[in-house]
Structure 1
């Protein structure tokens, strides 16, 4: 067999073996590597390259070496699940860089991070002033987790004592001009409903590159032709406008009627409707 053909066959075989092993180890090998896993990954890659190009070596010996270096981190992972001390040794622990708004210089030096390194990590979190940070810790994966001071955190509906409806993930119902029935069934909608919503936007299914339905039942689309403008969904703003008109009409009826009982009824319902508007306006305007 020619050497070039043997290298190709070895490469394909080792690539398949490494692919299956990586799938078996899980996604953590692709994202959050510990020091141990990092070293193991480099070693497995080196073995694979050596087996592919070293034609005089037995390919099964290389596969056996890869299996050994795969089994070690797998077993270490199992032990880590049961022993925190072992996990701390293998995966390491987070290191505090900022505490109570103060930079921990000793910890920076211990991890061999400079001030510029810390500032760069903060900028990756959209933080440009150390004074804005209450707490920051360098995780085992090398990522910086940041807690801003209370006055620098974004307001949430909870801070304002506002009740908001739960948000569900949007469902993709159209891809490449084709309707997907399973996502439609998930939200309890039909094809006829979808065609009606598309008619409101003035588009057809064939022109839609991507179509999604949000948790409020509104359809948003991206067209193949990027020069065309698609109007934004108007159901929610129109509902808010209708509620405001009803509330204004109730106030007008209360002012124009001479019957005291009817006047009190109009005023009471006007106040109730205004309360509903105040609670839902931020949702209907979004």
Structure 2
């Protein structure tokens, strides 16, 4: 009987620990989890499973590494928030498979994305042909986002500037450079690109949001 009571107590403690750890690590939808997030969750679940099934081991031996992993995830998430290059390494980059009806066959082959998968996704958006697609973007979480030509308002699906960082890849796709972008933003009354929180190039002009919150050297 005592053995079952101990198991019930462990299950209760594990439940509380999971809730606290996930709350500490922040809110993210399942479809938005990065590879790093998934690895952390898998390791945590394995540690908790061991602590529950092994009656002779103290649950504290699992709680210490679990909270260590939670702290590691918080630190790395903060670092990723500050560094675009680090985000590209940990989370990966999105890939444009279709640009204005043109299929990037090299990108499809590199990402092992078949034509059958692509056409299935196109049809799921009530479209019939790649020619109707302005952009088909393979996101870093593995989902395919499709923007129809008749509804797409942007000239590139990615921001030209995100949190003060210029997207050189997007500019290259548009056959533009940072000097051109700086001149265009100056026309909008913006002198420093690092002050831009978000910049999209829409068909009717630029959509720009300036930073309102200064960077803080804190983890929370």
Q: Is the 8 A contact 1:93 1:140 kept in 2?
A: yes
User: Does residue 94 of structure 2 align to residue 94 of structure 1?
Assistant: yes
1:53 pairs with 2:47: no
What is the CA distance between 1:41 and its match in structure 2?
1.1
TM-aligned CA deviation for residue 126 of structure 1: 3.4
Structure 1 counterpart of 2:132 = 132
- Which ranges in structure 1 are unaligned for 5 or more consecutive residues? 157-286
Q: Distance in 1 between matches of 2:128 and 2:69?
A: 42
Preserved CA contact (<8 Å) 1:100 1:134: yes
Residue number in structure 2 paired with 1:236:
none
Which position in structure 2 is the counterpart of 1:239?
none
Tell me: CA distance 1:95–1:154, structure 2 relative to 1, closer, same or farther (3 Å): closer
Aligned-residue Cα RMSD (Å) equals 2.1
Q: Secondary structure at the match of 1:55?
A: coil
The answer as to 2:73 corresponding to 1:84 is no
What displacement does 1:95 show?
0.8
Specify the alignment match of 1:71 in structure 2. 71
Instruction: Find the aligned partners of 2:109 and 2:145 in 1 and give their Cα distance.
Output: 18
Counterpart residue number, 1:279: none
Q: CA deviation at 1:84?
A: 0.9
- Structure 1 residues 124 and 50: alpha-carbon distance in aligned structure 2, compared to 1, 3 A threshold: farther
- Provide closer, same or farther for how the CA distance between residues 155 and 14 of structure 1 changes in structure 2, counting only shifts above 3 A: closer
Between the aligned partners of 2:123 and 2:70, the Cα distance in structure 1 is 36
* Residue pair 2:100, 2:131 contacting (<8 A) in 1 also: no
Superposed CA offset, 1:86-143 (max 9, x none): 1110111101111221111211121122112222333443334222112111111222
Which structure dedicates a bigger proportion of its chain to helix? 1
Residue 37 (structure 1) aligned with residue 40 (structure 2)? no
Are residue 148 (structure 1) and residue 151 (structure 2) matched? no
Bigger Cα Rg:
1
1:247 counterpart residue number: none
> Would the alpha carbon gap of residues 2 and 126 (structure 1) be closer, same or farther in structure 2, given more than 3 Å must change?
farther
TM-score, structure 2 as length reference: 0.64
Question: 2:18 and 2:145 mapped to 1: Cα distance?
Answer: 32
TM-score (normalised: structure 1): 0.50
Q: Aligned equivalents of 1:85 and 1:119: distance in 2?
A: 32
Please give the residue correspondences for 1:1-286 in structure 2 after superposition, counting only pairs within 5 Å.
Answer: 2-28=2-28, 30-149=30-149, 153=150
How many pairs align? 153
Structure 1 residue 85: Cα displacement: 0.8
Residues 24 and 121 of structure 1: CA distance in aligned 2, closer, same or farther (over 3 Å): farther
**Change over 3 Å in CA distance of 1:146–1:140 after alignment to 2:** same
Equivalent residue of 1:28, what SS?
Answer: coil
CA distance in 2, matches of 1:109, 1:98: 13
| 1:138–1:145 contact (8 Å) kept in structure 2 | yes
Q: 5+ unaligned residues in a row in structure 2: which ranges?
A: 154-220
Structure 2 partner of 1:219: none
SS of the counterpart of 2:145?
Answer: strand
